[in-house]
Structure 1
């Protein structure tokens, strides 16, 4: 008995769905799981977990924080770079901040709105982190276009003819009143603090470089998050910056700590891609073993 054409087509489609479900939905995934368990591959496939005294303490391919319950850096450990993944280093929320070089103006908190914390620009985040790291490491944390207070040094400059002509008004956009602006005057006009909720859109956004050195003491990776937010590595420069602080906290010599840094420094990928880097978790575990 010949089946109707429409029924034959539906049965053929069902058979195709069944075959592809078995091949691509079951056989292929199970085959890849089996391949991943081959010696030499199983560690990465299982998450590159790192154990200490029989307890899993992290992953060598996912960064993590080394802070106390209040979020303060533990001085005896090397610190990781910032993370924008979830609440920090969350592999289920891997992401970047999506803030670019033009993110220089903060959204100031509105005091009339309860629990309004505003929103920091990328510039202010970088300035704040650099200031905090400078204080932690005992070095100059200043950066170009940052105020001494750790926010972006940005003015809204109002001109007589819109965007041209003499300056008639200048407002420090990232310093909310009653703060004292980071500079007293700009082109002969007294600089004002910013009033939350006031519209300064007619002003020309003008970053002020300041007197910070061209090459800051704090490396760039110390104040910016990676694209994934999960980077377990820091630059060699950032690791070296932390050597004296870690050595002092552990009563070790700086030379011994630096030796461990050198031992846990990896070269460029394939010999030419990227820069040498230091795996923070593995270095901190080595410090614990040395102690």
Structure 2
């Protein structure tokens, strides 16, 4: 007996669904699980967990913060780079800040809930804080001495042309003192919270300042990675932390530096990426070989 065309088509679709469900929903996942159980792969497929004294303390692939309950960096440990994933290194909220190089003007408001720091000010504030924490120069281009973006709103007589008639340091509200006393002969005034200077016809000008082109605080110390989960820092960032970690542990800085070098990985395939230091593994090695007094 020949089945009606519509019924034959439905049965064929059902058979295809069952076959694909078995192949892609069962056989393929089970095959991948089996491959993940092969020697040399099992540890990686389990999340590359790192253990100390028999207990998991983190993953070699996911960064974490080394701070106290108040969020302050613990001096005896090397510090990770910033993270924009959730409240920091949250694997369920992996993401970047999506702020770009043109994000240089803060949103100032009398209510802190309505305020927002630009990417530039975030970088400047981090650089200043790290400079103080590590005892190095935290200055960097386009940053003020008090750790905000060095940005002016310049009002001109003829709109975009002509002499300046008013100049505002847009990221510094009173009682802060503007980072420049005058610009093009016009006194610089602090910003008024709640005022949007970009919408009032002003030209936004970033001032480079006298900071060195190669800051002592490296870029990875003040910017988050694209995933927000990077477990590594650059050897340059590790280097400026050596003196502080050695002091806190009562250790020889040369011994701390040797541990840094032992936990520095080279470029992938010899030419991809850059050398990097795994912060978690380095800190565990410090606790094992150079415990704090």
Band of TM-score, shorter chain: over 0.9
Partner of 2:125: 128
Q: How many residues align?
A: 288
Partner of 1:139: 136
Partner of 1:210: 209
Residues 137-189 of structure 1: CA deviation (Å, up to 9, x unaligned) = 00110111001110000000011111111000111111123322111111111
Where structure 1 has 5 or more consecutive residues not aligned to the other structure, the ranges are none
Question: Normalising to structure 1: TM-score of the pair?
Answer: 0.97
Q: How does 1:122-201 map to 2 (within 5 A)?
A: 122-201=119-198
Residues 241-267 of structure 1: CA deviation (Å, up to 9, x unaligned) = 100000000000101100101111111
Which deviates further from its counterpart, 115-124 or 214-223?
A: 115-124
Runs of 4+ in 1 over 3 A off after TM superposition: none
- Indicate whether 1:53 and 2:53 are aligned: yes
Partner of 2:221: 222
Give the aligned CA root-mean-square deviation in angstroms: 1.0
Where structure 2 has 5 or more consecutive residues not aligned to the other structure, the ranges are none
* CA–CA distance in structure 1, aligned partners of residues 4 and 267 of structure 2: 65
* CA–CA distance in structure 2, aligned partners of residues 116 and 182 of structure 1: 25
Partner of 2:276: 277
Q: C-alpha displacement at 1:131, in angstroms?
A: 0.4
Contact 2:143 2:150 in 1 (8 A): yes
Q: C-alpha displacement at 1:86, in angstroms?
A: 1.1
* CA–CA distance in structure 2, aligned partners of residues 215 and 79 of structure 1: 21
Partner of 2:234: 235
Question: Normalising to structure 2: TM-score of the pair?
Answer: 0.96
Q: C-alpha displacement at 1:68, in angstroms?
A: 0.3
Partner of 1:5: 5
Q: C-alpha displacement at 1:82, in angstroms?
A: 0.6
* CA–CA distance in structure 2, aligned partners of residues 93 and 53 of structure 1: 29
Q: C-alpha displacement at 1:117, in angstroms?
A: 4.6
Contact 2:107 2:194 in 1 (8 A): no
- Where 1:274 maps in the other structure, the secondary structure is coil
* CA–CA distance in structure 1, aligned partners of residues 276 and 158 of structure 2: 51
